[in-house]
Structure 1
């Protein structure tokens, strides 16, 4: 890892551990109750449709940047086989382990920077599942896509379901007024910001968010040797950060789904 990326990663890791502490108080107790229900699922209509297409039952699934693993637990409850979540935050890995225990399912969680996922996991998965707000924390997208490609077995799929990168042009609080260039290359820097779940709590610490154009995302997957199988844009915001945009008559795309396959 180069020194600059290491510095960004260390700062973001500290911020995510602070965020995990907030979530442990604000949302974890209720989530522990929810995951214990047999029908617990975080999937929306897009994920249900894509996982039906892929045939989730019996598939091995990896989730880089898994946060507390609630989505991976949903995969396991839907019939997936071996499920492994990777995340940089010790705090969220601990929450994932607690949630898996409460849910009664066997899910493995590994604390690691996504660029350093052990090579023991190479070619170990049928699906690499990446979702809400994962890519913006990554400085080097081509290398990340290379990690995704090495995790996949031949014939396996990357399923990416993310916030649309065009949203980086706007501030959720000020609506559709353009604030930033779509072609911005420097990271967004936050020194302290309200937590995205407990908005009354400010998470201290500096963090870095990297904008990636859609061409960077698709090109990164293709450059890693994956073949595009599906790309679709949507007018709903699965992150809830830009939920107000859904009500605008004239709005940008808010989310997208991408499927890419390893040959």
Structure 2
């Protein structure tokens, strides 16, 4: 297998995995979780999709991987304690999705990827980025997948201790990240695979089922027995051997993207 390629694309750190042939091929872009695996390199190791004949370019989320403050997640955890929605969830998803157009141009200048529609994949909060690319941009996408995704950000906020006090601004931010409400647009954009661990948090599981139902015939649900929310062991920052349950997810994603490759 070809070795990972690391670099930056318009300021965004990435870990790229070439197709087996190493030459020109379609592109799949991913965004990792804030749980383990919580860096682009660790996500690439957990879900490498080696048998997909495409470039897989794993982008770093804000304040993660090479963008961590002082080499740790402490600053991000402090923001979560301050205000999970307005300090982390909404700004991270907004920044990651708004970085994509320039990052795509840079990736295409650096790597032999074609200029056609891309695949998108996200895990947990990274799943919200992939869904936002579908719902709120015109970037051509040939297929999308999310794993244990944040689908309605209000659901994620409700999982934190205490009652969150919404004001007008935070209510708008939460509505912006409600992808069940945007299912009609998503259905028009690309086929969507929703991967949900059977041991993931029940509210996230319920949202996964609701999203597939709302999108309709262009969406499929892949339920993975025994899978909780993370895809790797802690601390989840450095690449680690693929766990057996992550291998099952990887196999499902591989089959999905192979089916829909241009």
Q: Verify same fold: TM over 0.5.
A: no
- Greater fraction of residues in strand: 1
Higher relative contact order (CA 8 A, sep 6+): 2
Max Rg structure? 1
Give me the TM-score of the superposition, normalised by structure 2: 0.38
Give me the TM-score of the superposition, normalised by structure 1: 0.38
